[in-house]
Amino acid sequence: MCGLIFRILVLQLAFLFAGGVAAQELSTQTSNEFAVTVKVTPRSLQGATWDFEVVFDTHSRELKDDLLKDATLVAPDGRQTPPLAWQGDAPGGHHRKGVLRFNALQPAPASVELRIARAGEPKPRTFRWKLK
């Protein structure tokens, strides 16, 4: 039992010094504008890539967003990182869900912002999380 506790403590310390953030600590954020709801949940902000689950819902128009072109991860210093991949529903329909993957920001910032610019909307949807 003591060996297991020791290993858990070592893993927790390694995580703290690596600058990663456990996704379960970061809450889902919701933007509801122009009859479209967008929900973003950080899923993994550790390692070489960071994953965000994105859900779109509407009952008024087709969801044609191309997240590889419309999304960007923004560091506190203004550096912008485009997504690597979208693994989820193709454009179209009234409900879409998937995972948006980015290269991890280095060095690990104190906060992060995800922006999604939607066609026909005057400003990007903005989602922010404190990491440290």
| Dihedral angle computed from the Cα positions of residues 74, 77, 80 and 84, in that order, rounded to the nearest 10 degrees | -70
First to last CA, the chain: 31
* Residue 126 token pair: 């903005």
Could you read off the pLDDT of 24-55 as tens digits, one per residue? 478 999 999 999 999 999 998 989 999 999 99
Query: What pTM value is reported for the model?
Result: 0.79
Residues counted in the chain: 132
What are the pLDDT digits (tens) for 60-89? 888 999 999 999 999 999 999 999 999 999
Say how many C-beta atoms besides its own lie within 10 A of residue 35's C-beta: 10
Domain 22-130 has CATH 3.50.50.60: no
Q: Break the chain into its structural domains and give their ranges.
A: 22-130
